[in-house]
Amino acid sequence: MVGIVVLAHGTAAEGLVETTELIVGAQTDFIGVPFDVNTDVADYRDLVVSAASKVDGGQGILFLVDLQGGTPGNVALFLSAGSRAKVVTGVNIPMLITVVLSRAGLSLEELASMAHDAGIEGIQNLKLEMEE
């Protein structure tokens, strides 16, 4: 099974993991890493490497990150080079609940594609219309 690492500025990653598990139940190989903006980037990268090694079952690592171009996303992208890892940006709850429920049997590439599509599908512009 593909391991999943959530990366975001501040403590959002841990919150996203906690909320996801509240909805779908406790998960294995699924972890969030906080990013204190005062942390040295090399130290943060070590934390991310450590987290990735914990969830790596040999099927690859999917990094789900908050922003393209931010430190969490840049570190994930750096680590994905030349390794069995992919990065999807814009992490949100619809993306997370979809991938953790469906990842069994899916390849890293299939799961990354599913994460991308679910993240977009989960964003809707809604208004409740009152019935006459």
Partner 1 sequence: MVHSKVVIKNSVGLHARPAANLVKEALRHQCIIHVEFAGKKADAKSILQVLSLGAGCGQEVAVFANGPEEEEALAKVVALIGSEEG
Contact residues: partner 1, CB under 8 A:
22-25, 94, 97-98, 101-102, 104, 118, 121-122
Least distance to partner 1 from the beta carbon of 59, Å?
17
Looking at residue 45, its amino acid is R
Is the Cβ of residue 70 or residue 94 nearer to partner 1 in the bound state?
94
CA distance linking residue 107 with residue 95, whole number of Å = 16
Least distance to partner 1 from the beta carbon of 93, Å?
9
Is the Cβ of residue 74 or residue 102 nearer to partner 1 in the bound state?
102
Least distance to partner 1 from the beta carbon of 98, Å?
6
Is the Cβ of residue 83 or residue 107 nearer to partner 1 in the bound state?
107
Is the Cβ of residue 33 or residue 91 nearer to partner 1 in the bound state?
91
CA-closest candidate to residue 75, choices 22, 4, 7: 7
Instruction: Report how many helices (DSSP H) and strands (DSSP E) the chain contains, helices first.
Output: 5, 4
Yes or no: say if 5 and 48 are a contact pair by the CB < 8 Å rule: yes
Least distance to partner 1 from the beta carbon of 112, Å?
17
Buried b (16+ CB within 10 A) or exposed e, 59-83: bbbbbbbbeeebbbbbbbbebbeee
